[in-house]
């Protein structure tokens, strides 16, 4: 794709916390959280799936590792990028292809293997 050419979709390569990889296609500008939830790859634990802030960037329960992709725009994600902890998927707008890794959760109840 040449510079300045508009792309209506982005590709998101997702590595699960227990291995396995998925390739998702999403409309440009969608939040990563929404793409993950719609694909059945929730960034939440069983408990935080119901007890979260609904994508407002307040609770910190939807953290993922961004291996490649958009730079931080939200204040929390700027700190996460600087200090190396997971970024909030609800605050990541997909304007370019990305590679992300779901992380093992140890707060608000552990992610359990099914």
Can you give the pLDDT of all 114 residues of the chain as single tens digits? Answer: 444 455 799 999 999 877 789 999 999 999 999 999 999 998 988 888 888 888 888 888 999 999 999 988 888 888 888 888 899 999 999 999 999 999 887 654 454 454
Q: What is the pLDDT of residue 81?
A: 82
Strand order in the sheet with 98-102: 21-27, 9-15, 98-102, 63-68, 87-88
pTM above 0.85, yes or no: no
64 contacts 87 by C-beta, under 8 angstroms? yes
Q: How far from 73 is each of 48, 78, 88, 95, CA to CA, in Å?
A: 24, 7, 11, 12
The residue with tokens 């958009």 is 70
| Backbone phi and psi for residue 21, each to the nearest 5 degrees, phi listed first | -135, 145
């Amino acid at each position: 794709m040449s510079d300045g050419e508009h792309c209506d979709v982005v590709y998101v390569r997702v590595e699960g916390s227990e291995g396995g990889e998925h390739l998702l296609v999403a409309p440009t500008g969608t939040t990563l959280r929404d793409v993950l939830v719609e694909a059945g790859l929730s960034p939440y634990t069983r408990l935080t799936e119901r007890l979260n802030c609904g994508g407002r960037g307040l609770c910190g329960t939807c953290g993922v590792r961004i291996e490649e992709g958009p730079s931080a725009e939200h204040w929390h994600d700027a700190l996460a990028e600087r200090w190396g902890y997971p970024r909030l998927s609800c605050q990541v707008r997909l304007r370019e292809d990305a590679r992300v890794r779901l992380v093992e959760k140890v707060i608000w109840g552990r992610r359990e293997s099914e």
